[in-house]
Each structure stands twice: as structure tokens, then as C-alpha cells.
Structure 1
Amino acid sequence: MDYQLAIENAPDTVPGGTGILLLHPSIGETDRIDTDFFKTDTDHFLIVSTRTTAREVEQKLEHYDVDESRADILDTLSVERGYSRWRTDNVHYVSAPDDLDGIVAQVTDFLESHEGKLRLSVDSVTELAYYADVDGAYDATRKLLDLLDKHDAVGLFHLSNEVHDAETIQRFRELFDGVVELDLDGGVEADF
């Protein structure tokens, strides 16, 4: 199954199983790329949030007019930080951003329990590497990409190109079918 992409300078469609790396500056405006990714040609999507809480993700979706009824959110921050949590059918939690096995298990559950065109966003791999380590984040990313392939889904994985050295960035690039680079001015380049 093919998925439409609404990403500037990227192909119009990509096949199921495609993983896309979004390289961006630390203060880069990734929200429009993320939300356009969800809005297009999607039955259900899961956001693995390692930078913001579920409530902040919901506010972003509302602000960008994304259909929240199709959204599931995995909040990796609220438990560790002691924030109040309201478990709902579409908001899930793991203990912390370094609970990589828990994150992979939640993504597996999402992909196995939904049908149709499924999308995944991991925002961000940089935070996974910060809380766990680069090798752990790399292994978890590889497992998530395997799941996308198995379930004919597509995914967008955020990685800050200012935080990691060139060798680490290249290591992650090689995992992905496509790389989208966002610059400070909002310009987008894509390599598929």
C-alpha cells in the first residue's frame, strides 16, 4: 500500500514500511512537517512523545487542525516527572524516555490493534539517546522500523542535527529509506 506524503521536495507517495528521518536544528520548526504528515492519507497515527507531555501534543494537534480522533499518544515524560495523568483510550504512558522496551511494546500494540493506513512519529530520537544512550536509541529505532515494515505502516523520526556528531548522524541516516532536512529558515530538502 502506498502513502501520500505532504512534505516539500519529497516524493508524492512512499510505500508502506517506509521510515523517514527528519533532521532538524534544535530550534527548528518541525510542527508543520509533523502535522502535515498526520493529516494526509491516514486512518490512525501514534505519536511517541519524548519531548512534551500528552497534553502539549493534544494542544499542537488542535492548533494545526489535525483530526484528534485518529490520534494515539504515547507520553514518555509525565510518569517520571510526577505529572498528573489521565489514561484514556488514546493516551498511553511508559515510565520514562529510557524505557525503550516499553516504547517498542506500545508501538507494537498500536500497530497490531489498528487497521488501515497507519503512521508513527517519534519525537524525538535525540531525546531517546539523551535519556538512554545512542546505542539504545539506535537499537530501538531499528526495531520500530522493522515493525513499520511488518505492518505496512510509515514513520517519521525526529533527530536534531546540532546535538549529534557527524558519525552518529550518518549511522542513523543509513537506517532510513528517506531523509528530510529542515534548515533554520524553514527550508526543506529531501533525499529518498
Structure 2
Amino acid sequence: MEYDLAIEDGPTTIPGGTGVLLVHPSTGETDRIDTDFLKPDTDHRLVVSTRTTAREVQQKLEHYDVDTETTDILDTLSVERGYSRRSSERVHYVAAPDDTDGIVEQVATFLESHDGKLRVSFDSITELAYYADEERARNAVERILALLEEHDAVGLFHLADEVHDESVVEGYRALFDGVVTLDVDGNVTAEF
């Protein structure tokens, strides 16, 4: 299955099973790239948020005209921040922001329970590593990439490069089929 890719400097389509790494400065404005990835040619999408709450994700999706009726949100933060959690058909939670097994299980459940073209946005690896540690974050990402391949889905994973050691960033670059880099001036380059 082929998926349209509406990311500047990238190919026009990518095959199912493709994982794309978005490398960006920690202050970089990634919302446009993220929502451009989520919008086209999709039946269902899942936003895994380790950085913002479900309410903030919902506002971003609405602002950029992403179809919220076909988008699920996995909020890993509200528990940590003490916010009330109102699970709904489209909003899900895990026990804590370092619950890597719970995150992977929720992604698996989403992919297994939806048909058609499926996209996953993971925002962000950096925040997951902050809560869980680098090794557990990397393991979770590898497991999610395997799930994307198994279900012919595609995913975009955020990584703030200056927060991690260079060897960690290079390790992630090597793990992904495509790497999109956003620099401090807002320029986008893509390697596939």
C-alpha cells in the first residue's frame, strides 16, 4: 500500500510500513510538518503524545484542519500532571508517561482495531526518553516500527536532536527509512 507524503523535500509517496524520523531543534515549530503528515490519504490516525495533553493535541488538530472524527489520541501526560482523565472513544491514556509497555500496547490495539490506511504520529521520542530513559524509549520505538510494518501503516516520530548525545541521534537516524530534518531557521530537508 502506498501513502501520500505531503512533506517538503520528501518523496510524493511512501510504502506502508515506513517509519519517518523528524529531527528538529527543541524550540522548532513542528506542528505544520506533523499535521501535513497526518492529513492526506488516510482512513484512521493515532497521535501518541508524550509532550502535550489530549486537549492540546485536539486544539492543534482542529487548528490545522485534521479530521478529528478519524483521529485517536493517546495522552501519556495527564496522569503525571494530575489532570482529570476523561476517556472517550477517541482519547486514551496510559498509567504514567514512562509506561512504555502500555504505550506500545495502545498502538498495537489501534492498529489491530482499524482497517485501511493508518498513520501514527509519535510526539516525541525525546520526552519519552526523559521519563523512561534512552534504552526503554529506543526499545518502544523499535517495537512500534515493527507494528507499523506488520500492519502496513506509516509513522512520524519526533526527536529533538540537541537534547540527546550525537550517537543516540545517529542511532535513530539509522533505524528509520526516512529522516526529515527541520533546522533552526525552519528549513526542511528529507532523506529517504
TM-score category of the 2 structures, normalised to the smaller one: over 0.9
The answer for the alignment partner of 1:174 in structure 2 is 174
Residue identity opposite 1:57 in structure 2:
V
**Residue of structure 2 equivalent to 1:26:** 26
SS in 2 for 1:162: helix
- 1:46 maps to 46
SS in 2 for 1:156: strand
**CA–CA distance in 1 between the matches of 2:46 and 2:187?**
26
2:9 equivalent in structure 1? 9
Question: In structure 2, what is the Cα distance between the partners aligned to 1:165 and 1:77?
Answer: 24
**Shift of residue 127 of structure 1?**
0.6
How far apart, CA to CA, are the structure 2 residues paired with 1:162 and 1:95?
28
Task: Supply the distance in 2 between the matched residues of 1:66 and 1:185 (Cα, whole angstroms).
Answer: 25
CA RMSD in angstroms comes to 0.6
- Give 5+ residue unaligned stretches, structure 2: none
The residue that corresponds to 1:80 in the other structure is 80
Q: 2:8 is matched by which residue type in structure 1?
A: E
Q: Deviations over 1:80-134 (max 9, x none)?
A: 2210111110100001221000000000000000000000011000011110111
Q: C-alpha deviations, 1:129-184, integer Å up to 9, x for none?
A: 11011111111000000000000000000000110111000111111000000011
**What does 1:104-183 align with in structure 2 at a 5 Å threshold?**
104-183=104-183
1:28-58 per-position Cα deviation (integer Å, ceiling 9, x unaligned): 0100000011111111000000010000000
CA distance in 1, matches of 2:43, 2:66: 12
CA distance in 2, matches of 1:2, 1:183: 28
Are the aligned partners of 1:54 and 1:75 in contact in 2 as well (CA < 8 Å)?
Answer: yes
Query: How many Å apart are 1:9 and its aligned residue?
Result: 0.3
Match of 2:66 in 1: 66
Asked if the contact 1:77/1:95 (under 8 Å) is kept, the reply is: no
SS class of match (2:163): coil
Question: What letter matches 1:179 in structure 2?
Answer: V
Normalised by the length of structure 1, the TM-score is: 0.99
Q: CA offset at residue 185 of structure 1? A: 1.6
Greater shift in the superposed pair: 82-91 or 151-160: 82-91
The structure 1 segments of at least 4 consecutive aligned residues displaced by more than 2 Å after TM superposition are none
The alignment's TM-score, normalised by the length of structure 2, stands at 0.99
The answer as to 2:185 corresponding to 1:185 is yes
Structure 1 CA distance, aligned partners of 2:85 and 2:167?
A: 38
> Contact 1:28 / 1:182 at 8 angstroms: preserved in 2?
yes
Q: Which amino acid aligns with 2:121?
A: S
Aligned-partner Cα distance in 1 for 2:139–2:66: 30
**CA drift at 1:66:** 1.0
CA contact (8 A) 1:120 1:154 kept: yes
Kept in 2, the 8 Å contact 1:47–1:71? The answer is yes
Structure 1 residue identity aligned to 2:17:
G
